[in-house]
Amino acid sequence: MKTQVTLVLKEIPSLPVEAELINPENVTEKGIPEIKSMLLWCGNRQERVGDYFEVEITSLEESKNGVADPVLNSVNKGEGNLARLVLQGDLSKFKRLGQGMAAGEMLIQGSAGFHAGALMRGGTLLIEENAGDWLGAHMEGGQILVKGSAGHFVGSAYRGKTKGMTGGRILIGGDAGQMLGARMGRGLIAVEGDCGDVPGFGMMAGTILIQGTSGIRVGANMRRGTVILLQSKKLLPTFYYNCTYELPFWRLLYNQLIQAGFSLPASYQDVSFRRYSGDANEGGKGEILICHCP
């Protein structure tokens, strides 16, 4: 029987907590004492889940007041008997939640700290409020849904690494910070709100969509891949204009985003795009598509 494990935060910690062990796979088929004894690091101090959370385990059929999110339910069919993991409270001090998770569903009813969903390989991570920096960094698969805003370096490569996110999708309901999708190589990042400077920096493949306004230097140093801007933007001089046209794959992407619960007005369904190629400093094989709204 599929179960739901709920971790209820007792008190917001004063220092950041490294919580990379908290993911659906690690709590499945464990009892409450086992889950409470899972290790966390707070600075140089080793602590346990039970120090920060109350733990409840219920069968999924009984947890009518638990997760009833249609997005989670629609994307996680066939995830076997992995427990659904729900975290309640302001977890903005908890880093690396859902890091490396390969399957299952994890719901954070609150905010998440840095590195949430980093190195993720599968499954779904839903954050109902805000996410910190490095959300989905080096992500390989699965999907991350953030109803609030996300910090800097979403889906990016860590310092010293050459390739960031290589698969999966990250959908952000609010705004995103700087360096969105920096050095990403495949995957999809979509932001309903605004975005900071240099989105798509050095990207090598994949797709970034920004519905709101974006900061300066969009796509700087990008080698390949696609940045889609639904609001007009002055680009770097190393991007050159090609044409204005109806993008054949736009309807497919639009439909996929709508199905995933991303909010895009119907007026964007049939639009043309101005296509720019660049960054010319890096070969010019990337593209920025700017919505040509009449």
Smaller CB distance to other proteins: residue 34 or 270?
270
**Cα–Cα distance measured from residue 185 to residue 16, given in angstroms and rounded to the nearest whole number:** 30
CA atoms lying within 13 Å on the CB side of residue 263: 9
- x/- binding map, residues 160-189, to other proteins, per CB under 8 A? --------------------------x-x-
Listed ranges 31-39, 76-84, 88-96, 246-254: which one lies at the site for other proteins (CB under 8 A):
246-254
Smaller CB distance to other proteins: residue 80 or 248?
248
Surface-to-core class of residue 114, CB atoms within 10 Å of its CB (0-12 exposed, 13-18 middle, 19+ buried): buried
Cβ atoms within 10 Å of 65's Cβ, excluding its own: 7
Cβ pair 140, 168 in contact under 8 A = yes
Q: Please identify which residue in 163, 224, 274, 292 interacts with other proteins, judged by CB under 8 A.
A: 224
Q: Residue 283 interacts with other proteins (CB under 8 A)?
A: no
**Cα–Cα distance measured from residue 162 to residue 182, given in angstroms and rounded to the nearest whole number:** 10
Cβ pair 163, 144 in contact under 8 A = no
Q: Side chain identity at 196, as an amino acid letter?
A: G
Cβ atoms within 10 Å of 34's Cβ, excluding its own: 13
Q: Is the peptide bond before 270 cis (omega within 30 degrees of 0)?
A: no
Q: Give the tokens for residue 36.
A: 């409470």
Listed ranges 69-77, 94-102, 117-125, 251-259: which one lies at the site for other proteins (CB under 8 A):
251-259
CB of 245 to other proteins, least distance (A): 5
Smaller CB distance to other proteins: residue 31 or 283?
283
Listed ranges 6-14, 46-54, 146-154, 238-246: which one lies at the site for other proteins (CB under 8 A):
238-246
CB of 155 to other proteins, least distance (A): 15
For the chain, count helices (H), then strands (E).
Answer: 5, 17
Q: Residue 121 interacts with other proteins (CB under 8 A)?
A: no
Smaller CB distance to other proteins: residue 72 or 257?
257
Smaller CB distance to other proteins: residue 89 or 286?
286
Q: Residue 263 interacts with other proteins (CB under 8 A)?
A: no
SS3 208: strand
Backbone torsions φ then ψ of 24, nearest 5 degrees: -60, -40
Smaller CB distance to other proteins: residue 86 or 191?
191
Interface with other proteins: number of residues (CB under 8 A): 19
Nearest to 204, CA basis, from 221, 181, 183, 218: 183
CB of 255 to other proteins, least distance (A): 7
Smaller CB distance to other proteins: residue 45 or 251?
251
Q: Please identify which residue in 252, 263, 281, 283 interacts with other proteins, judged by CB under 8 A.
A: 252
Q: Residue 207 interacts with other proteins (CB under 8 A)?
A: yes
Q: Please identify which residue in 70, 237, 248, 294 interacts with other proteins, judged by CB under 8 A.
A: 248
Q: Determine how β-strand 94-95 pairs with β-strand 105-109.
A: unpaired
Q: Residue 76 interacts with other proteins (CB under 8 A)?
A: no
Q: Residue 292 interacts with other proteins (CB under 8 A)?
A: no
**Cα–Cα distance measured from residue 288 to residue 294, given in angstroms and rounded to the nearest whole number:** 18
